[in-house]
Structure 1
Amino acid sequence: MSGTYSTELERKSGWRTIRKVAPYLWPDEHPWVKHRVVWAMVALFVSKFVTVGTPFFYKAAVDALSGDQTDAVWMMTLGAVGLTVAYGMARLMGVGFQQLRDAIFAAVGQRALRQLALETFSHIHRLSLRYHITRKTGGLSRIIERGVKGVEFLLRFMLFSIGPLILELLMIAVVLAVVFDFSYVAVIAVTIAIYIWFTFKVTEWRVQIRKEMN
């Protein structure tokens, strides 16, 4: 019972942390941050669309090599080579837009780190002298450093992981349903659901073991 209650408290604490970190992505007093977030999302969505559409170039290249026998060999080869180059360019564009996303978002993440570090530093200096005397400064600074670094991970996780992953899965599901059959989508959906459930269970199990060891 206590373990379940502790897990529930941790989940609430996690959501509370996310709610506190989220305003760093959309501050009203800094419009440039909003603009960078929007452009980073645009680059992310473009990279997802390119990634999903890239295999079709490879398919077309293979189909070009097995085309009608009445076509000239050099025409078939030229078409296959062109489509292969297009496939490579599409993959390059997918990676390029991901790098562009990181470059655009870097200023937002660094600003959030600076802001959080400043707020933490100011809060510590407002504490009483008794607190500083009875605390280990070295351990406290290490905790602050880890916490500040964790903020950037949370920001990237919220912005670039959950929503875009769902979008990519939906696009892939549509492609599979149109090109193949809905049964493929059902199998993949069940597999992903089992994988998510297994990942959560194993993660909670590992966290519980580490808590007991500590």
Structure 2
Amino acid sequence: MPPVTKVSMGNWPRAQDGSSQPKLRDLFGLVREIVWSKVPEERRPGLLILIGLLLVADKVFVIGLPFVYGALIDSLGIGLELALPLGLVLAYGLFRIADTVLDNVMDMLMDRVSLRAIRRVTTDVYGHILRLPLSYHLDNRKGGLAQSVERGTRALEDLANVTLLGFLPIIIELVIAYILLIARYDLLSAMILAGTMVLYLLAVVIFDRIRSRLVGRVNEAEDRVSDLIVEGLSYAETVKTFAAETRQARAVDSAMEDYRGRAMKVSVYFMFRQVTIALILSGSLVILLALTVPKVSTGALTVGGFVALAALILRLFQPLRGLGIVNRRILDSL
């Protein structure tokens, strides 16, 4: 039998061309397997429908917040009875509470879906590793293998959560926000925001693709450190017999230095990424608000409407940043 060189995930989706980097279709297949199990007894259609309804409700509350805030400001400046401003303050608080409650409820429900799949795949992978021929276990380092299995288990949960509770809610929120933006303000503002989103996504994809390769090198260095530590402790008797304690410690120190150097490259690169993205988003915000100020001066837009627009733009930037986080976490999970 030829030697086995890598752990198979059994029936779980993986790259079809034999490469170590899964393709997009493999990612969707993996998420589908987590959410809609091949085992009929593990499927929870009612739970998924409930999560979907909560997602839409949550985004309605989130997008409604800036407009409630703007209406509150307008109501304070026109001499109305105190009841209306107080009612709007109460509505604003209720919207924020509803957003927080719905977010946490969805996280809890999603855990019920993903943790069941994670338990199953972890058990499958562990059993598969144990059934591999002895040559595999002799040729592979236990520390790095354990680290890879643990990292893969965490990645499964990340993939499910960021795809269903990250990507889909962001798309829903952006669609609702753009519809309201065109209806309440003008098409130019929506086009500028759309251009900002395209530019932002291009920057995120380019930066995160490079960062993903750097993170892969960091993971390799981390596995090397784990290998050395586990080997040193597993063969402590041999190390002492040959008085190799100092040499073993130096090997670990050298591996840690390599890990530190690679991790610092990721940190520096991430700093440049964040600065570039901040310039894109801040520039867009300044342009949009500058175009809106004359409308307030001419009376075409109220002060509350201006504040609502600013709050809506800032709110839209959050899901844009969320898309960047989703992209980065998906790349880190693959």
Relative to the length of structure 2, the TM-score reads 0.55
Alignment counterpart, residue 190 of structure 1, candidates 195, 199, 205: 195
What's the C-alpha RMSD, in Å, of the aligned pairs? 2.2
Residue equivalent to 1:92: 97
The letter for the 2-side match of 1:153 is D
Identity of aligned residues (%): 24
Match of 1:36 among 47, 56, 69: 47
Structure 2 counterparts to residues 10-159 of structure 1, below 5 A: 12-27=22-37, 29-30=40-41, 33-67=44-78, 69=79, 71=80, 75=81, 77-159=82-164
Q: Deviations over 1:122-153 (max 9, x none)?
A: 11121111211222222211110000110011
Do the aligned residues in 1 keep the contact of 2:69 with 2:92 (CA within 8 Å)? yes
Distance 1:105 1:212 in 2: 31
Instruction: Find the aligned partners of 1:89 and 1:30 in 2 and give their Cα distance.
Output: 38
Mapped partners of 2:92, 2:175: distance in 1: 22
Q: Report the secondary structure of 1:64's partner residue.
A: helix
Tell me, in whole angstroms, the C-alpha distance in 2 between the residues paired with 1:135 and 1:209. 23
Q: How far apart in 1 are the matches of 2:215 and 2:83? A: 59
Q: How do 1:156-195 residues align onto structure 2 when only pairs under 5 Å count?
A: 156-195=161-200
Q: Which has the larger radius of gyration?
A: 2
| Greater fraction helix | 1
C-alpha contact 1:25 1:34 (8 A) present in aligned 2 = no
CA distance change for structure 1 residues 110 and 212 in 2, over 3 Å: closer, same or farther? Answer: closer
After alignment, is 85-94 or 25-34 more displaced?
A: 25-34
* Whole-angstrom distance in 2 between the partners of 1:119 and 1:206: 31
Deviation at 1:209, TM superposition (A): 5.2
- Residue 44 of structure 2: SS of its match in structure 1? helix
The change in CA–CA distance for 1:59 and 1:17 in structure 2 (over 3 A counts) is closer
Name the amino acid aligned to 2:65. Answer: T
Inter-partner Cα distance in structure 2 for 1:10 and 1:197: 24
**What secondary structure does 1:30 align onto?**
helix
CA positional deviation for 1:179: 0.7
Displacement after TM superposition at 1:205 (Å): 2.9
Q: Tell me the number of residue pairs that the alignment of Structure 1 and Structure 2 aligns.
A: 200
CA contact (8 A) 2:58 2:103 kept: yes
Q: Where does the alignment leave 5 or more consecutive residues of structure 2 unmatched? A: 1-18, 221-334
The Cα of 1:169 is off from its aligned counterpart by 0.7
Q: Identify if the C-alpha distance between structure 1 residues 135 and 20 changes in structure 2 by more than 3 Å, giving closer, same or farther.
A: same
Task: Output the TM-score relative to the length of structure 1.
Answer: 0.84
Deviations 1:54-77 (A, max 9, x none): 22221221122122x5x5xxx2x2
The alpha carbon displacement at 1:37 in A equals 2.1
- How far did residue 167 of structure 1 move? 1.5
Instruction: List 4+ stretches of structure 1 deviating above 6 A.
Output: 211-214
Question: What are the ranges of 5 or more consecutive residues in structure 1 without an aligned counterpart?
Answer: 1-8
Q: Which residue of 2 aligns with 1:6?
A: none
- The offset of 1:187, in angstroms, is 0.2
2:311 equivalent in structure 1: none
